[in-house]
A and B are shown apart, each in its own frame.
Chain A
Amino acid sequence: MNIEQIGESVRVLASFSGGSAEPLQFEWSGRVYPVSAINGRWIDRGGEGYSLHFSVQVGEETYFLHFSSVQVQWWLDQVVVP
């Protein structure tokens, strides 16, 4: 298993509804990654604002994304390749 730290801002197509968010696909380095499943999610309320974190599945690979409410920006944190 290979874990790669990324830490780059990404463009995400997401659905915000009923107080929850769901990333549907994201664009990173010019390529579009369709989300096939959301493995888990958590909210980090430490500090200013909050961050919505997601572990999402794209094929065999797992991507960690988060949305920062202060920056109003999505970030790709890490990729796990089995």
Chain B
Amino acid sequence: MLRSTDRLIVHVDVDAFFASVEQLLVPSLRDRPVIVGSGCIASCSYEARASGLRAGMPLSQARRLCPRAVVLEGNYPIYRCFAEHVWEVFRRYATGLETFLDEAYGDATGMEAVHGSPLELGRSLQQAVRAEVGLPVSVGLASGRMMAKLASGSAKPYGVAWIRPGQEADFLAPLPVKKLPGVGGRTAERLHDLNIQTIAQMRRLTRQTLRCMFARRGDALYDRCRGIPDESALSRQAPPLPKTISRETTFHQPTSRNEELRGMLEYLTERAVRTARGKGLRAGTVELSIRYDDWKQDASAASLEAPTDRDDEVFALVLRLLDRLHKRRVALRHVGITLSNFTRDRGEPALFDLPVGSLPAGGRAGCGLRIAERGARNAERKKPTDLSVSVERQEFPERSAPPRDRSNLYRALDAIRDRWGHSAIVQGESVNLLGELKQNDYGFILRTPSLTK
């Protein structure tokens, strides 16, 4: 029985999302193993999973394991439209939705008067999505976000599970430690070294022990393995700052053409920075990652002294990182941009964004921007080496518009794109991609679009 004061968090996960959309739209694919992805599996149907296929598996291996599987490159703009439709239905059942590409959280506290018990709510939501969108979803309900996600995971495929308040610890007890959010491969290995296999066994460790083993994460793991709800989830306060915003893609054909590389990097930069601006964030750190045609990869990050939400500032840094990273005479197959170290844009002009006249005489001279860069040769995932580089910002000619106007320009571009689609304007070196890549209203159609949000 749920008391009216008990929180009820709902987690909805679309089962085998991309593959399910393909099977919905093309009936001849139903009941067949379907893989969506290029290079590796982005999503596969449950028929494919029965042959041992999993997301992230290289396609070559997948074909060996399941030769009769149908492999599709996928159509990500369509998947996005379907996801929006699913969340539209979800909004009738819960408030404060936090959506990702194929899963979403919502708060259904106090909804029992409208939708009945939590299990009835979950089933009703599941049936509504099936009837109106045509896709199978699994629904998890619990008093906290983490438990709701574990509940939906336990109910897959096409199930509904409710973890009643007070039963969180019992639900968790028999699960392997790897099921606990925050426990990855290496953490699990360290726990296995102590002969700790299940979450019940993990509870025998004191908070102090977990702190010693995993530093600050130890506290979170101590609470999580006891099913203590994450109070920050879906609180009514401002959402926490995202850790990263990334945009990455694999080229249709590996390339070393400078204009294509720079065009793609500018395009990824503008997409990532536009997302940050949309959230009212300024990025403090930019990371560029590249993967060569022989699968060796490399990454480097640089932190600006002044956080920014301007495409040109971020792109200038990306180009410097590219110069630093791309040293081998091997074509690139994959590039990615990651923004991090965010601060909120409070609408206050930075000191150097003030109009020229408002600065004391000579105030603009020598306003160098110090950038601390760290390079990470991560072909073998080495720890980044700290390097300190000083990069001088070019002085603006006296007659040029002050930088604040450039920020306004980007906001105007965002407004145009919000209304007419991202493709309404192609800027900077992204024009190099025109004719090379197809476009739709969302922008260039990339081979593997970023699935992060």
Contact residue among A48, A53, A57 (Cβ-Cβ distance under 8 Å from B27): A57
B24 within 8 A of partner (CB): yes
Q: How far is the CB of A28 from chain B (nearest CB, A)?
A: 18
Q: Which of A25-82 contact B (CB under 8 A)?
A: 37, 39-40, 42-48, 53, 55, 57, 60, 62, 64, 80, 82
Contact of B85 among A39, A43, A80 (CB under 8 A): A43
Chain A residues touching B, majority SS: strand
Q: Which residues of A contact B77 (CB under 8 A)?
A: 44, 46
In the bound complex, residues from chain B placing their C-beta under 8 Å from that of A53 are: 78, 81
B81 contacts which chain A residues (CB < 8 A)?
Answer: 42-45, 53
Docked Cα-Cα span, A44 to B84, in Å, equals 10
- Whether A40 and B85, one on each chain, are in contact in the complex, defined by CB atoms closer than 8 angstroms, is no
Decide yes or no whether B350 CB sits under 8 A from chain A: no
Residues of A close to B422: CB separation below 8 A: 46
Q: Determine the residue in chain A with the shortest Cβ distance to B135.
A: A40
The 8 A CB mask of B55-77 against A (1 = contact, 0 = none) is: 00000000000000010000001
Total A-B residue contacts, Cβ distance less than 8 Å: 56
Contact call A39/B441, Cβ cutoff below 8 A: no
Q: How far is the CA of A40 from the CA of B419 in the complex (A)?
A: 26
Per the bound structure, the CA–CA distance linking A39 and B134 in Å amounts to 9
The interface size of chain A toward B, counting residues with CB under 8 Å, comes to 19
Q: Which of A1-37 contact B (CB under 8 A)?
A: 1, 37
Pick the most buried of A42, A43, A48, A80: most chain B CB atoms within 10 A of its CB.
Answer: A42
The majority secondary structure among interface residues of chain B is helix
Give the distance in Å from the alpha carbon of A56 to the alpha carbon of B442 in the complex.
Answer: 24
B26 touches A47 (CB 8 A): no
Q: Is the CB of B78 within 8 A of A62?
A: no
A-chain residues with CB within 8 Å of residue B70 when the two chains form the complex: 1
How many residues in B have their beta carbons less than 8 Å from beta carbons of A?
A: 24
> Known: A46-B440, A48-B421. Contact between A60 and B24, CB under 8 A?
no
Complex CA distance for A80 and B22, rounded to whole angstroms: 11
Determine which of B29, B82, B419, B441 lies in contact with A42 in the assembled complex, contact meaning CB atoms within 8 Å.
Answer: B82
**Contact of B26 with A48 in the complex, beta carbons under 8 Å:** no
Among B28, B420, B424, the residue within 8 A (CB) of A60 is: B28
Q: With a CB–CB cut-off of 8 A, which chain B residues contact A57? A: 27
Q: What CA separation (Å) do A45 and B418 show in the bound complex?
A: 11
Footprint of A on B, CB under 8 Å? Answer: 21, 24-29, 70, 77-78, 81-82, 84-85, 134, 419-424, 440-442
A-B complex: 10 closest residue pairs judged by Cβ atoms: A47-B421, A47-B441, A46-B441, A82-B28, A55-B25, A42-B81, A40-B24, A40-B25, A62-B26, A46-B442
Can you identify 15 A-B contacts, CB atoms within 8 angstroms? A37-B27, A39-B25, A39-B26, A39-B134, A40-B21, A42-B85, A44-B81, A45-B81, A46-B421, A46-B440, A47-B442, A48-B419, A48-B421, A48-B441, A80-B28
* Given pairs A39-B26, A46-B77, 16 additional interface contacts (CB within 8 A): A1-B26, A1-B70, A39-B27, A42-B81, A42-B82, A42-B85, A44-B441, A46-B442, A47-B421, A47-B424, A47-B442, A60-B28, A62-B26, A62-B27, A62-B28, A80-B28
